[in-house]
């Protein structure tokens, strides 16, 4: 129990992970919440996936509530039958579409203005997602007009063709995404948004309605990536969705009081997409060393470990393709897939059957004891999804195992010289590196020890909670009592250090 809780209340806003799903980002959120017991937390998940039935993690006593809102995939009658267009809807749609296509400068302000007007048209329902006003938003017409205007601008990369049917499809998908702006946020002192486009839309709408400070953790920077389910869409529709996500991210960078990227990679991404340097505070991922104490290597059977959800966008295909070559070079080698979620077990089994590896590949649900995740093998193959945070890589390093990482996102800067890095998308290079370590016990053990030392020096949970505790206090604490300036013969010295950098001053002093 926390005998002296803080009076600051924090809304941790995610997009489907903690506390309902055990994934990499969910693990990061769990360590943050459990390490900051002096604050009160309201956990809010806004997701376009199936609504989870119950939390996957036990909730600490300082968590006041946990709520999940599913946007749903079925169109309501109000969405299928558009009624009278309310005042301002046409202007909001036009600004939104012109902004995401970038036909004026500054683009972010144009899109943000349109998004804010959409949020004003759709007040929070309080009980369920209120999609009624979105049905009357003339997005199809606005997209076609913005597309025509953007195509008439000289010197710009040509846009793909957008037919009327494509515009209707894109408008339907945008309306579904925009339903997040109708989600009511709890009354708190600070909203901490962790995740992608969906939770950020809810956070932005809440900020505009209430003025609550917003802290944005940039953990999944690849907003421009194409999602697997979008392969069947036309090039024009994919362009709309990609630019919409980029515009939402840029609006979040402009509105947040502070942005806390997990790595230099994420830091650079935020700068490239309009974040102000003075609002960035880099806070690397961290894990509890007590949960990953390391263990002696298992028996002589060559064993590789990969951790991931097992879904289509999790890096599984590359791992299996590489292990096919590993098994050919080292007969009897075994691959453990740990952390496969229930929703992806069938997909994972289908992929294993496709490779013909049979019992050489063993699936495991996420173990309750973290120390079992990586120590079942001698080498960890870190092949993340294109937008996964480096959390599992830090776990593997802390476990004292040699890591072969794929050069995606922040993997290189996290691993440093304590592991091997191979090019992305090349299963043969991954297989060569894994086989080399499996055949060199002394080298892999030396790399494993070096990786654990690096994790202990740079990626521990106490560093994460110390910094976020200071940021929460700076952003969520009530304003100081009014001060009265006195006319003194010798002026009193005053510090010019910004409040949000107090933690940095203490650490470097």
CA 346 to CA 349: how far, in whole Å?
A: 5
Write out the two tokens for 171: 């408008």
DSSP string, 455-482: HHHH-BHHHHHHHHHHHHHHHHSPPPPP
Q: Are residues 340 and 268 in the same domain?
A: no
Q: Are residues 220 and 336 in the same domain?
A: no
Within-domain flag for 488: no
Write out the two tokens for 338: 């740990």
Within-domain flag for 501: no
Asked whether 309 and 384 are in contact (CB, 8 A), the reply is: no
Task: Calculate the alpha carbon distances from 160 to 36, 90, 239, 282, 366 in Å.
Answer: 48, 24, 8, 37, 43
Q: Are residues 60 and 164 in the same domain?
A: yes
Sequence-distant (6+) residues with CB within 8 A of 106 are none
Specify the higher pLDDT residue, 203 or 27.
203
Write out the two tokens for 14: 């995610």
Sequence-distant (6+) residues with CB within 8 A of 375 are 294, 295, 298, 399, 400, 401
pLDDT in tens, 192-219: 999 788 999 999 999 999 999 999 997 6
Question: What is the bridge-based pairing of β-strands 190-194 and 9-14?
Answer: parallel
How does residue 498 score in pLDDT terms, banded at 50, 70 and 90?
very low
Q: Are residues 51 and 121 in the same domain?
A: yes
Residue range 181-192: mean pLDDT, rounded? 94
Q: What is the per-residue pLDDT for 142?
A: 92
Task: Calculate the alpha carbon distances from 229 to 127, 171, 364 in Å.
Answer: 30, 17, 25
Structural domain of residue 384, as residue ranges? 289-458
Within-domain flag for 491: no
Q: Are residues 279 and 355 in the same domain?
A: no
Q: Are residues 31 and 137 in the same domain?
A: yes
Within-domain flag for 323: yes
Q: Are residues 43 and 144 in the same domain?
A: yes
Within-domain flag for 464: yes
Q: What is the per-residue pLDDT for 104?
A: 44
How does residue 332 score in pLDDT terms, banded at 50, 70 and 90?
very high
How does residue 320 score in pLDDT terms, banded at 50, 70 and 90?
very high
Q: What is the per-residue pLDDT for 363?
A: 87
Question: CATH number of the domain that 343 lies in?
Answer: 3.40.50.2000
> Mean pLDDT score of the chain, rounded to an integer?
83
Q: Are residues 145 and 60 in the same domain?
A: yes
How does residue 227 score in pLDDT terms, banded at 50, 70 and 90?
low
The sign of the dihedral angle between the CA atoms of 181, 187, 192, 195 is negative
Q: Are residues 371 and 436 in the same domain?
A: yes
Structural domains counted in the chain: 2
């Amino acid at each position: 129990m926390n005998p002296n809780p803080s009076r600051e209340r924090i809304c941790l806003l995610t997009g489907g992970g903690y506390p309902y799903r055990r994934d990499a980002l969910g693990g990061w959120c769990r360590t943050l919440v459990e390490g900051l017991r002096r604050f009160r937390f309201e956990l809010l998940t806004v997701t376009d996936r199936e609504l989870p039935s119950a939390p996957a993690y036990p909730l600490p006593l300082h968590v006041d509530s946990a709520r999940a809102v599913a946007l749903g995939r079925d169109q309501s009658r109000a969405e299928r039958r558009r009624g009278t267009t309310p005042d301002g809807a046409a202007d909001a749609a036009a600004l939104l579409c012109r902004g995401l296509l970038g036909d004026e400068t500054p683009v972010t302000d144009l899109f943000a203005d349109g998004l804010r007007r959409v949020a004003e048209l759709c007040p929070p329902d309080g009980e369920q997602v209120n999609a009624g006003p979105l049905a009357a938003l003339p997005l199809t017409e606005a997209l076609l007009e913005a597309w025509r205007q953007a195509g008439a601008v000289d010197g710009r990369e040509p846009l793909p063709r957008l037919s009327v049917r494509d515009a209707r499809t894109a408008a339907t998908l945008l309306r579904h995404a925009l339903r997040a702006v109708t989600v009511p946020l709890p009354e708190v002192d600070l909203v901490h948004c962790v995740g992608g486009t969906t939770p950020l839309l809810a956070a932005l709408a809440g900020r505009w309605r209430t003025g609550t400070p917003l802290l944005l953790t940039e953990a999944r920077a690849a907003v421009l990536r194409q999602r697997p389910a979008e392969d069947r869409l036309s090039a024009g529709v994919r362009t709309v969705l990609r630019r919409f996500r980029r515009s939402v991210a840029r609006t979040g960078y402009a509105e947040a009081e502070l942005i806390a990227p997990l790595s230099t990679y994420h830091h650079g991404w935020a700068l490239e997409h309009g974040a102000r340097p003075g609002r960035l505070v880099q806070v690397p991922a961290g894990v509890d060393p007590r949960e990953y104490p390391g263990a002696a290597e298992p028996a002589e059977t060559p064993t590789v470990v990969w951790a991931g959800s097992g879904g289509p966008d999790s890096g599984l295909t590359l791992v299996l393709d590489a292990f096919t070559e590993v098994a050919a070079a080292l007969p009897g080698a075994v691959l453990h897939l740990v952390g496969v979620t229930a929703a992806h077990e069938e997909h994972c089994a289908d992929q294993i059957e496709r490779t013909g590896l049979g019992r050489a590949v063993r699936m495991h649900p996420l173990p309750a004891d973290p120390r079992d995740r990586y120590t079942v093998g001698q080498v960890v193959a870190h092949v993340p999804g294109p937008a996964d945070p480096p959390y599992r890589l830090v776990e593997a390093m802390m476990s004292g195992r040699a890591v072969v990482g794929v050069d995606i996102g922040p993997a290189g800067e996290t691993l440093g010289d304590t592991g091997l890095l191979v090019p992305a998308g090349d299963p043969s290079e991954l297989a060569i590196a894994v086989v080399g370590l499996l055949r060199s016990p002394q080298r892999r053990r030396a790399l494993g020890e070096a990786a654990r030392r690096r994790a202990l020096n740079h990626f521990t949970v106490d560093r994460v909670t110390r910094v976020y505790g200071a940021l929460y206090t700076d952003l969520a604490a009530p304003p100081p009592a009014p001060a009265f300036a006195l006319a003194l013969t010798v002026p009193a010295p005053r510090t010019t250090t910004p409040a949000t950098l107090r933690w940095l001053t203490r650490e470097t002093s």
